Amino acid sequence: MIACLRLPFFAAALAQRDDARLRRVPLVLVDEAGQVTGLSPEAARLGVRVGMPLRQAQMLDGSLHVRPDTPVRTRRVLEELLAALAVFTPQVEPEEGLELRADARLRRDVPVLPAAQIDDQPAATCYLDLGRLSEGDTLEVGYELHRMVRVRLDLPATVGLASGRFPARVAAAALGKHEILAVSPGQEAAFLAPFTAGLLPVDGETVRQLHLLGLVTLGHIAAQPVSALLDRFGKTGRVMHRLASGRDTRPVQTYTPRAVFRQTRQLEQPVGDWQTLHAVLDDLLMSLLAQADEQAVRQVELTLLQDDGRCLEDTLTLRAPSGNGAHLRQTVRELAGALGVSGGVVEVALGL
C-alpha cells in the first residue's frame, strides 16, 4: 500500500503556526520579484493564487497580510519531516523533489499541469511505500503518520491510502483538514471516476483536447478503449488510461537525507556593524566545520533575523564541494553582504 501525506498551504501554515498575529488572517508570502509564492486558506478564499503579482493580489482585497517568503526555512522543515517519515519505511519520496510547485489551473499558461497542485493549494506532498499490509494495519499506520505530523509540526495534514501513488494522491487532495481516507484494493477506478481529468500529469494542450472530446472526468477516460486513446494521444494515452483506471505501479524511491550541520545563535544585543557580525559568522562556521569532520561542503544556508522582525535568508550552492576554511569564510561573508541587511541583527542561523 502507498500512503500520500499532504500538508496544504505548507509555507504559509508554518508562518501562521509561529506567529499568532498571522493566524486566521489572509496571508500571502512573496519573493524578491514581488510574486506570490505561498498563501493561507483565508487568502485563497479571496481568490489569491500562487504566481500572482502582489499588486494584483492586493487589488482583490486590501487587507492582505504580506510577508517575505522564507524558502530556506520551509525546505529545512520539509527535510526534517522526510527524515522522520523514514522511520516508518526507507521508501519515502517528496513529490517533485523539494520544490513546492505553483498552482495548475487550466487557464494558467504552463507546459505541464502537475497533479500535485490542481487544487490550487501550494502543498507539501510525500509518498511512503508501506509494503503489504492488511487494510486494518494500513489504517493504523495512517493514523500514526497523522499523529506524528501533529506532534512534531502542529500543522494540518491529510493522508490518502491506496494501492498506487496516483489514487493515494487524489484521496489525500480530496480531504479536508486532519483526515484520512483509504481506497480499498479493487475500488480504485470507482473512486477516481468522478474526479476531473485535469488531475492527470499531462500538458495543458492535452487537457484542452480531452475537454473538447467530452472526456472531462477520470471515469470518462477509463471508459475509453486504450486503442482510441493511443491513436489520439500516443503513449500518453496509455498512461492516462492506466492512471484513470487506478493502476499506478510507479515505485516510491528510497529517501537519502543530506548530511546537514546547522547552528543558530541568538545575540544579546542587536548587531549593526559588519565587524561584529563577521566575527559571529566566523565562529559559527568554525564550529560547524569541526562537527562536519573534514567533509566537503556543497551548499551554504544563511538566515539573519533583524530586530524589526525582518527575516533575511539565502542559499548558495558551490560550483565544487569545498573543505577550505578560508574559502568558506569568505563565501559566508559575501552571502551575508548580499542579503541587504537594513537593521540590527538579533539572530544568526548557518547551515552547511
For cell 483509504, what's the residue? 182
Mean pLDDT confidence for 164-172: 92
Query: In this predicted model, which residue has the larger pLDDT, 196 or 177?
Result: 196
- CA 235 – CA 251 distance, rounded (Å): 20
- Using CA atoms, how far residue 254 sits from 10, 106, 191, in Å, is 23, 32, 28
What pLDDT score does 120 carry?
Answer: 60
Residue 238 pLDDT greater than 90, yes or no: yes
Residue 109 pLDDT greater than 70, yes or no: no
**Are 246 and 163 within 8 A, CB to CB?**
yes
Would you place residue 242 in the very low, low, confident or very high pLDDT band (cuts 50, 70, 90)? very high
* Averaged pLDDT of the chain: 86
**Closest C-alpha to 348, from 288, 260, 297, 258:** 288
For the segment 82-100, what is each residue's pLDDT rounded down to a tens digit? 989 988 899 999 886 433 3
Would you place residue 350 in the very low, low, confident or very high pLDDT band (cuts 50, 70, 90)? very high
What pLDDT score does 51 carry?
Answer: 81
**Are 235 and 73 within 8 A, CB to CB?**
no
Percent of the chain with pLDDT over 90: 49
**Are 155 and 135 within 8 A, CB to CB?**
no
First to last CA, the chain: 36
pTM: 0.74
Mean pLDDT confidence for 9-38: 90
Q: Which of 28-37, 99-108, 133-142 has the lowest mean pLDDT?
A: 99-108
